[in-house]
Amino acid sequence: MTMLETMATVDQKKSEMGDAVLADRLREVGLRPTRQRMALVDILLSQGNRHMTAESLYSEATSQGAKVSLATVYNALHTFTAKGLLREISIDSTQSYFDTNTKEHHHFYFEKSGKLEDIEPNHVKLSRVPNAPDGMSISRVDVVIRVDG
């Protein structure tokens, strides 16, 4: 084993939140804290609010040494979303984005770069919202402000 290989193996970033906290977060929503979920949830929840795609999460995870398959990343993103740990955003019909901020808020979408940015909740106000038709109810209101260069 070369020096570089040794370092790469050892260089797995330790969670800033503490593994116990992350494991509990998973157990709270009824999910087993497996090795790969821990790695993913650490990336997703140990830093500020983020907007990730399956690809971006997968490459970040593998590049810091986690051994996880792309299929698992998709599985995890969907189960985390179902359990309320993430929120899915449809902005670009070519890719799904997942937002680690599950509180009510809105977005800037930079058309050129494809990046998303949170808008402070108090910077957007909807003073008038229609009622949902007949027996239906509003599950969510999304405001996307598209900006170009």
Partner DNA sequence: CCATAAGATTAGAATAATTCTAGACTGCTT
Partner DNA sequence: AAGCAGTCTAGAATTATTCTAATCTTATGG
Catalog residues that contact a second copy under the rule CB under 8 A: 88, 90-96, 108, 110-111, 117, 119-120, 122-130, 132-133, 135-149
- Residue 63: other Cβ atoms inside 10 A: 9
β-sheet bridge partners, residue 117: 108
127: tokens are: 């003073």
x/- binding map, residues 16-35, to DNA, per CB under 7 A?
A: -----------x--xxxxxx
Stretch that binds DNA, among 48-56, 116-124, 128-136, 137-145 (CB under 7 A): 48-56
| Chosen from DNA, a second copy, none, partner binding at 141 (C-beta under 5 to 8 Å by type) | a second copy
The residue whose two tokens read 């497996």 is 34
Q: How far is the CB of 129 from DNA (least distance, A)?
A: 28
63: left (phi over 0), alpha (psi -120 to 50) or beta: alpha
Q: How far is the CB of 71 from DNA (least distance, A)?
A: 4
x/- binding map, residues 106-145, to DNA, per CB under 7 A?
A: ----------------------------------------
Q: Could you give phi then psi for residue 96, rounded to 5 degrees?
A: -95, 140
* Radius of gyration from C-alpha coordinates of the chain: 18
Contact at 8 Å (CB) between 66 and 36? yes
- Under the rule (CB under 7 A), what is the footprint of DNA? 27, 30-37, 53-55, 67-72, 74-76, 78, 93-96
